[in-house]
Structure formats: structure tokens, C-alpha cells
């Protein structure tokens, strides 16, 4: 199993948050997390940028400086969910001729198997998707996922279980062997 390694509290300074340093250290990892949640790189960059901007404006909200990455991760998860919500609304207004070309990074070919699976993931409910990404990419514990998603710990397991079941069903409907 591949698990992305995220920084623990011991790798973060206990001093008040230095947003610039946090930005340099964690931006890429957070953009990668966001791109799994919102699909396209520009949106992912915006989500992460806003998360940092919020921290810069309200450093007092981070009571434990050692928890900066977790704070930002939670912010990214929440903002990604909002971005998906806004996207659904915006699609109702965008003119057909306005263009909706995929960002360049999506044109890099993924292995067909990966692409098929990620397409199925996009059909999940946002919360289900978040839980799967945090579990199978970030490698978080149920407790950490619960914190990042703002749900009860007991809901994490059931949400993941349901998400996997839905994925199985989608792949089966699409003729995939799971």
C-alpha cells in the first residue's frame, strides 16, 4: 500500500505560525491533497491558497502551533467541499461558449486503470471521497480523518465502507473488474 507521508507535530515548530515557512514546507502536499478532492490543479491551488490566506489573517485560531499542518489540512478539506459546491452552482450559469477545457495537468495520461478508478471516485458523495482520500492517500487514522472532516470517529469507518461499496458498484456497472 502506498501512503503519502505527512508531517507530524514533531516536525513543526512550536513557535507561533510562520505562514511563509508553512507555505514553503507544505504547499505542495496540500495541493496534492486538494487535487484529489477537486480534480483540477487550478482549483486545488486556489483552495490551498485560501487556506493559507485564512491562517495568515487569523493566526490566533491556531492554538497549537505544532498542529499547523493538521489545521491547514482540515481547512483544505472544508474548502474543497465548498469549491465543489460552488462549481455545481456555477455550472448552472456558465455560458456554453465560455470554454471548459481541462487544465493542462489533466492531459498527462494516467494509466487507464487509475483513470477509471478516479472517475468513479468523482461520482462519490464529497464526504465519501474525502474519507477515502484521507485514508488511502494521506494514510490518516480514523481519529485524524474524523478531525479533518469534522465528523464523528464512528462515522469514518461506516462512510469508508459505504464509499467502497459504491465504488464497487460503479465499477461493476462500468464493466470493470474490481
Partner 1 sequence: MNDLEERLSAAFHARAEQVRPEHLVPAPSPATARRRPPVLRVAVAALAAGAVAATVAVSAGRAGSPEQAGEPPIATHGPQTEPVVKLLVQRLPADEPVSYDDAVATLSGATMTLRLAGDRWTFDVTHLDRPALTGVTVDLGRHVGYVLAVGPQGDPSIEVLVPGPGGRLVRATWSMALEGIELPTITPDPGYVGWSVWVGLDGRLHASAYRGSRVAEEVYRWTLPSAIPSGADEVELVPVAEPLEERP
Q: Give the nearer residue to partner 1 in terms of CB position, either 53 or 152.
A: 53
Length of the chain: 178
Q: How far apart are CA 80 and CA 47, in angstroms?
A: 6
Instruction: Tell me the C-alpha distance between 84 and 80, whole Å.
Output: 6
Distance, CA of 95 to CA of 170 (rounded, Å)? 30
Q: Rounded CA gap, 178 and 165, in Å? A: 11
Confirm or reject binding of residue 25 to partner 1 (CB under 8 A). no
Piece in contact with partner 1 (CB under 8 A), picked from 5-13, 68-76, 92-100, 142-150: 92-100
- Residues from 107 through 166 that contact partner 1 (CB under 8 A): 108, 110-111, 113-114, 117-118, 121, 132-133, 136-137, 164
Contact 169/161 with Cβ under 8 angstroms? no
Q: Where are the beta strands (DSSP E) in 52-114?
A: none
Q: Does 89 bind partner 1 (CB under 8 A)?
A: yes
Binding site for partner 1 (CB under 8 A): 1-4, 19-20, 23-24, 27-28, 31-33, 35-36, 41-46, 49-50, 52-53, 56-57, 85-86, 89-90, 92-95, 98, 103-105, 108, 110-111, 113-114, 117-118, 121, 132-133, 136-137, 164, 167-168, 171, 178
Amino acid at each position: 500500500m502506498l501512503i503519502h507521508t505527512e508531517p507530524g507535530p514533531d516536525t513543526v515548530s512550536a513557535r507561533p505560525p510562520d505562514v511563509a515557512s508553512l507555505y514553503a514546507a507544505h504547499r505542495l502536499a496540500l495541493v496534492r491533497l486538494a487535487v484529489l478532492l477537486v480534480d483540477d490543479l487550478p482549483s486545488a491551488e486556489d483552495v490551498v491558497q485560501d487556506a493559507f490566506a485564512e491562517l495568515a489573517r487569523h493566526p490566533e485560531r491556531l492554538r497549537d502551533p505544532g498542529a499547523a499542518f493538521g489545521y491547514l489540512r482540515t481547512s483544505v478539506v472544508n474548502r474543497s467541499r465548498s469549491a465543489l459546491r460552488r462549481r455545481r452552482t456555477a455550472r448552472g450559469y456558465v455560458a456554453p461558449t465560455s470554454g471548459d477545457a481541462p487544465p493542462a495537468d489533466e492531459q498527462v495520461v494516467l494509466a487507464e486503470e487509475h483513470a477509471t478508478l478516479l472517475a468513479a471516485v468523482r461520482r462519490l458523495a464529497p464526504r465519501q471521497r474525502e474519507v477515502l482520500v484521507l485514508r488511502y492517500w494521506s494514510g490518516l487514522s480514523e481519529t485524524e480523518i474524523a478531525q479533518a472532516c469534522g465528523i464523528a470517529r464512528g462515522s469514518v469507518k461506516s462512510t469508508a465502507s459505504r464509499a467502497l461499496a459504491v465504488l464497487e458498484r460503479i465499477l461493476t456497472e462500468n464493466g470493470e473488474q474490481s
